């Protein structure tokens, strides 16, 4: 059974070897995430090379998502990168000096922190595991804080300031350097961290456009003000990531499930892709099985109509990266085959719909009424395929495209199975080539019925043809 929800796995020490990358692809990973908060360009370049090598060997289209750090504040390094425990009631000093962090002094990589924080405000470390209250700010820019909630942290853990609107740019100097590197690589998506409003995306979009790169922009929703401006942000990007870790620190955790549902709904209405991320199978960093609550969380995100679910620490640093992907696939397939899965979301009451969309809607209904027969979509831009994907047809969706970059981009679309296929000027030759690919993959047999969505000629923007035919029959 083909999986419909796409799985994103984060590359890290646990998953960076070619053999593990190959296993992850074989088990169901569709996109790999490169976290630019960690790792050098040399390490990340090797990861890209290994992903592409294994993709070619396994003959599967794989997308790569480059996740920029953004204006994220982090702790410095601890001794040997080992965890440090801080007790409730202790006094801790925060400094921008580059020193080894300990239980009583924490190095922070944001020099302007003392100028933007006031006494009495909260500072959270390691996704809120440690909560500090600012007692005093020294004249040399150091903060002295009381530990409200104790816990552990290690090197390069996130620092959140829910009471502070930081005067940081949307793209940092590090991001610009990383972006120069990314735009020279075979990457399909760039995620921007800590987006607060649509304007935060403009510089990134401008840089990507100036380099004439077809790379899709994903806005990470990590702050409550971003969630409240979801519609304007969605209009300015290609998709969103519901980054629940920082979102749950910056706002009340009890609000996050409702925000997640609202953000998925907003993305669906806008026709944009949505990724649900962070702590999905968190316990599998150390355990071979998830908690029942985690399994329910993943399933409910799928039933809410997310396009993709993402693994972070589970595959980056976890002890069971391959098993985590297997579990994701298992949960996804069970949720997708349940009676609770939304399906065939075609609104028959609409009047004045754009002709290509009318063709797509008709294809979905025709496939459903004939027993969920496969829909074969021929596209150059990928727009037709993404539109059908958003309508949640449970029929197999096979997409054929002559642009290798678009093919990899479509790896993020729900239920889309993209194939690279050079387009000929003859539609009959094109369809014959697509059928041959599906026969070789075992997705169809000769004599099976399929629905074809294409243009009368393979021209961009000309989806105007719907046809039902049998595999192997001559196209007339």
Residue tagged active-site, from 157, 220, 272, 408? 220
User: Max alpha carbon distance in the chain (Å)?
Assistant: 82
Residue with tokens 């991001």: 175
Give φ, ψ of 214 to 5 degrees.
Answer: -90, 80
- Active-site residue (options: 5, 95, 278, 463): 278
End-to-end CA distance of the chain: 32
Give the residue among 475, 476, 474, 463 at the shortest CA–CA distance from 363: 463
Contact status, residue 445 vs residue 336, Cβ threshold 8 Å: no
172 is annotated as an active-site residue:
no
Q: How many CB atoms lie within 10 A of CB 13?
A: 13
Both tokens assigned to 402:
């002559």
Q: How far, in Å, CA of 213 to CA of 264, rounded?
A: 27
Annotated active-site residue 220? The verdict is: yes
Q: Contact 96/107 with Cβ under 8 angstroms?
A: yes
Q: For this structure, is 315 an active site residue?
A: no
Could you tell me which residues come within 8 angstroms of residue 406 by beta carbon, excluding any fewer than 6 positions away?
214, 379, 380, 381, 382
Catalytic residue status for 33: yes
Closest CA to 147 of 91, 74, 75, 83: 91
* Distance between CA atoms of residues 243 and 240, nearest Å: 9
What SS3 class is residue 360? helix
For the chain, how big is the Rg over CA atoms in Å?
24
Q: Name the catalytic one among 6, 33, 305, 392.
A: 33
Give the angle 461-467-472 at the CA atoms, nearest 5°.
115
Q: Which of 74, 196, 244, 408 is catalytic?
A: 74
Could you give the CA distance from residue 211 to residue 6 in angstroms, rounded to a whole number? 28
Measured over the CA atoms of residue 331, residue 337, residue 338 and residue 341, the dihedral's sign is positive
DSSP labels, 152-198: EE-TT-EEE-TT------SS-HHHHHHHHHHTTS---EEEETT--SG
DSSP code of residue 101 = B
Measured CA to CA, the distance from residue 135 to residue 203 in angstroms comes to: 37
Name the token pair of 303: 């039933």
CA distance 472 to 103: 70
Phi, psi of 406 (to 5 degrees): -65, -40
Note the helical H segments in 337-448.
Answer: 355-369, 383-390, 404-409, 427-441
Residues noted as catalytic: 33, 74, 220, 278
């Amino acid at each position: 059974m083909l999986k419909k929800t796409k799985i994103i796995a984060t590359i890290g020490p646990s998953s960076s070897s070619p053999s593990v990358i190959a296993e992850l692809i074989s088990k169901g990973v569709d996109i790999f995430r490169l976290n630019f908060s960690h790792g050098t360009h040399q390490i990340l370049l090797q990861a890209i090379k290994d992903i592409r090598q294994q993709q070619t060997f396994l003959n599967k289209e794989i997308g790569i998502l480059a996740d920029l750090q953004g204006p994220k504040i982090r702790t410095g390094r601890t001794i040997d990168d080992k965890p440090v425990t801080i007790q409730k009631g202790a006094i801790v000093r925060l400094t921008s000096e580059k020193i080894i962090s300990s239980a009583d002094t924490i190095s922070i990589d944001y020099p302007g922190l003392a100028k933007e924080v006031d006494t009495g405000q909260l500072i959270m470390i390691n996704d809120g595991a440690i909560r500090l209250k600012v007692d005093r700010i020294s004249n040399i820019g150091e903060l002295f804080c009381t530990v409200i909630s104790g816990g552990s942290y290690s090197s390069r853990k996130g620092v959140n300031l829910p009471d502070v609107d930081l005067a940081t740019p949307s793209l940092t100097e590090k991001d610009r350097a990383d972006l120069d590197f990314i735009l020279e690589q075979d990457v399909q998506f760039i995620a921007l961290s800590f987006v607060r409003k649509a304007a935060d995306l403009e510089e990134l979009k401008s840089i990507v456009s100036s380099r004439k790169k077809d790379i899709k922009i994903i806005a990470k929703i990590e702050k409550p003000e971003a969630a409240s401006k979801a519609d304007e942000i969605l209009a300015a990007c290609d998709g969103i990531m519901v980054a629940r870790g920082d979102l749950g620190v910056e706002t009340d955790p009890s609000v996050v499930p409702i925000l997640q549902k609202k953000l998925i709904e907003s993305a669906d209405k806008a026709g944009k892709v949505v990724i649900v991320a962070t702590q999905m199978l968190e316990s599998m960093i150390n355990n071979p099985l998830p908690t029942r609550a985690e399994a329910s969380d993943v399933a409910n995100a799928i039933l809410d109509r997310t396009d993709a679910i993402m693994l972070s620490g589970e595959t980056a640093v976890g002890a069971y990266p391959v098993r985590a992907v297997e579990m994701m696939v298992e949960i996804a397939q069970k949720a997708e085959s349940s009676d609770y899965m939304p399906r065939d979301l075609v609104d028959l009451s609409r009047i004045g719909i754009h002709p290509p969309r009318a063709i797509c809607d008709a294809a979905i209904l025709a496939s459903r009424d004939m027993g969920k027969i496969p829909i074969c979509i021929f596209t150059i831009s990928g727009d037709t395929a993404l539109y059908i994907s958003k309508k949640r047809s449970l029929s197999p969706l096979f997409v054929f495209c002559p642009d290798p970059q678009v093919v990899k981009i479509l790896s993020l679309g729900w239920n889309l199975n993209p194939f690279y296929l050079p387009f000929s000027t003859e539609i009959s030759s094109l369809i014959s080539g697509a059928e041959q690919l599906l026969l070789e993959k075992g997705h169809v047999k000769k004599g099976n019925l399929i629905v074809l969505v294409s243009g009368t000629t393979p021209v961009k923007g000309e989806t105007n043809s719907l046809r039902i035919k049998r595999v192997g029959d001559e196209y007339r």
